Amino acid sequence: MEDVILTMKGIDKTFPGVHALNHVDFDVRRGEVHALMGENGAGKSTLMKVLTGICAKDSGEIVFEGRTVEFRSPGEAQEAGIVIVHQELNMIGHLTVAQNIFIGREPKRGLFIDDARMNKEAAKLFAQLRIDIDPKETMSNLTVAKQQMCEIAKAISHDAKVIIFDEPTAALTENEIEQLFAIIQDLRAKGYGIVYISHRMDEIKRITDRVTVMRDGQYIGTLITAECTKEDIISMMVGRVIYEDPKTENRCPPGAPVVLKVEHLNAGRLVRDVSFELHQGEILGFAGLVGAGRTETARALFGADPRDSGDIYIDGKKAEIHSPRDAVKAGIGYLSEDRKRFGAVLQKSVAENTTLASLQKFMKGIFIDKRREAGTAAEHVKALKTKTPDVEQPVKNLSGGNQQKVIIAKWLVSDARIMIFDEPTRGIDVGAKQEIYELMAKLAETGKSIIMISSELAEILRLSDRIIVMCEGRITGEMDIADATQEKIMAAATREIDQQRQAGAKEGSRP
């Protein structure tokens, strides 16, 4: 056990009405990547907050490098060598890369900050990580992936010995994920202890050495990654079997009427001559690579972004949709991929968010009928199995999956018949995903029509009745689920890019 650098024993933490951690055990060894997994609300974040001094434990013991510690702030944890790279990056956009890395502890020459030395030290860190970033570059000019690399460099600059990665790949492309994995493997080889929090099973199997699973605030067990299956981990996480078989046949009723028809939609660079139909009771999947134009198409359809040209027909009648208000009146609901910015008002209660898109229904004179609002919210909490102490609970206190259910309830209350789900399970654990999948299937069975945008091919193949594939702002493929494969989808998703490359090659070969 001499290679164990960090041990947490019997950690207990209670918030009002919630036993968040119930005598949890966890340890990290030098030179390993240790996954911490569990459904949203399992206690992972609370355990890391206790470790890094964001909140105090009620009982238990933390031993770091052989001595008992209790950090009272993230600063104390950083000074000791425990650093967290957050999913939501904490960089200051208008400062340079080097200024962000050394903020609050800048090297000085007399009374003044020594910028030359600071840039030199930042360059050393990037050389150690084998990444090419200019320390003098303004942070806001970098991609999300490079900003994350800067967070890692900042962690190492604190002489970190344990680095916690919280959902590090959530906003990264495949190439950026490969670069991140190379850095993590290099850090492991240099003896750092890595805690890796993620919901992505394929990543866990690929990058980690051990997996610790939590459920409902309790420690369930620790597995050696190479000796367990994905199904083993999922079973421990949710306490039940999750089936992930793809859909094999179109379940949209034969002859179902067309409820939405889009003709020659154009909106900016990423929506170019898009035409498609959506039938009643159908789940229409939109697949494609990052930047294909799927979200931009949905936002133009919903009136959130202006469209340059094109027509939208609902139930055969031309619809004038120039704003989200017009879309809501037409019976369209939109679940944004960024639910925290555009989907819910996090400080407001479950009840207030549930009625947000249809407040006029709950007005009594100039006042909101709070009793009726609460009753309606309670009905949808029960119907959607939303986990919340009560409907007055602020949405910010709910897990990601339950926040998503509140947003779905909002559109159900508004009588939306056409629902656009944009990345409906992003940042949601496998158990909550299953519940969202079942809910979407039930909505389709009751006659709701769904457009589902997803970057996960397994999700597209599992839920869709029909699939539209986009690339570079255009529709490059359409297929029934019975004929769809990952290979066919990827071929269509890269078709426009391949055609452009071929055209460029021909142009370059001309005398």
Q: How many domains, in total, are found in the chain? A: 2
Region 53-59: what's the mean pLDDT? 93
Q: 284 and 186: one domain?
A: no
Q: 177 and 272: one domain?
A: no
Q: What angle do CA 313, 316, 319 make, to 5 degrees?
A: 35
- Beta carbons of 482 and 250 less than 8 angstroms apart: yes
For 114-123, which contacts have Cβ atoms below 8 Å and span 24 or more sequence positions? 121/157, 122/97, 122/98, 122/153
Nearest to 138 by CA among 96, 91, 103: 96
pLDDT of residue 155 exceeding 50 = yes
- Beta carbons of 53 and 134 less than 8 angstroms apart: no
Q: 230 and 310: one domain?
A: no
- Beta carbons of 183 and 131 less than 8 angstroms apart: yes
The domain in which residue 27 lies consists of 4-238
Please give the Cα distance from 384 to 401 (Å, whole number): 11
- Beta carbons of 36 and 197 less than 8 angstroms apart: yes
Contacts of 121 (CB under 8 A, 6+ apart): 98, 102, 107, 157
SS3 314: strand
Q: pLDDT tens-digit profile of 439-448? A: 889 999 999 9
pLDDT category of residue 242 using cuts at 50, 70 and 90: low
**Residue ending a domain, choose from 238, 271, 301:** 238
CA dihedral 409, 410, 415, 417 (to 10 degrees): -80
Residue 89 lies in a domain: yes
Please give the Cα distance from 166 to 145 (Å, whole number): 14
* pLDDT winner (highest mean) among 33-37, 232-236, 392-396, 484-488: 33-37
Residue 509 lies in a domain: no
From 349-363, 434-448, 492-506, the region with the lowest mean pLDDT: 492-506
Q: Please report, for residues 168, 171, 189, the alpha-carbon distance to residue 176 in angstroms, rounded to integers and kept in the order given.
A: 11, 9, 20
**Residue ending a domain, choose from 238, 269, 300:** 238
Residue 506 lies in a domain: no
pLDDT of residue 1 exceeding 50 = no
Nearest to 488 by CA among 457, 462, 459: 457
**DSSP β-bridge partners for residue 265:** 274
Contacts of 13 (CB under 8 A, 6+ apart): 20, 21, 46, 50, 55, 57, 58
Q: 469 and 336: one domain?
A: yes
From 27-31, 452-456, 472-476, the region with the lowest mean pLDDT: 452-456
Q: 163 and 299: one domain?
A: no
Q: 461 and 362: one domain?
A: yes
Which residue in this structure is represented by tokens 């970190």?
160
**Residue ending a domain, choose from 238, 271, 286:** 238
pTM above 0.85, yes or no: no
Nearest to 92 by CA among 52, 143, 147, 131: 147
Nearest to 164 by CA among 123, 130, 198: 198
Q: 284 and 399: one domain?
A: yes
Q: 234 and 282: one domain?
A: no
> Positive or negative CA dihedral for 314, 320, 326, 327?
positive
CATH number at residue 402: 3.40.50.300
CA dihedral 220, 395, 74, 43 (to 10 degrees): 0
pLDDT of residue 340 exceeding 80 = no
| Strand ranges across the sheet with 418-422 | 332-335, 418-422, 449-453, 283-287, 466-471, 474-480
pLDDT of residue 502 exceeding 90 = no
Please give the Cα distance from 65 to 76 (Å, whole number): 15
Q: 148 and 295: one domain?
A: no
Amino acid letter, residue 436: I
Q: 231 and 269: one domain?
A: no
Q: pLDDT tens-digit profile of 299-339? A: 999 999 999 999 999 999 999 999 999 999 999 999 887 76
Q: Please report, for residues 9, 17, 56, 265, the alpha-carbon distance to residue 59 in angstroms, rounded to integers and kept in the order given.
A: 9, 17, 9, 59
Q: 317 and 351: one domain?
A: yes
pLDDT of residue 148 exceeding 60 = yes
Please give the Cα distance from 349 to 392 (Å, whole number): 5
Residue 249 lies in a domain: no
- Given this model, what pLDDT does residue 152 score? 80
Please give the Cα distance from 28 to 35 (Å, whole number): 10
Please give the Cα distance from 235 to 302 (Å, whole number): 39
Q: How many CB atoms neighbour CB 102 within 10 A? A: 20
Please give the Cα distance from 400 to 340 (Å, whole number): 9
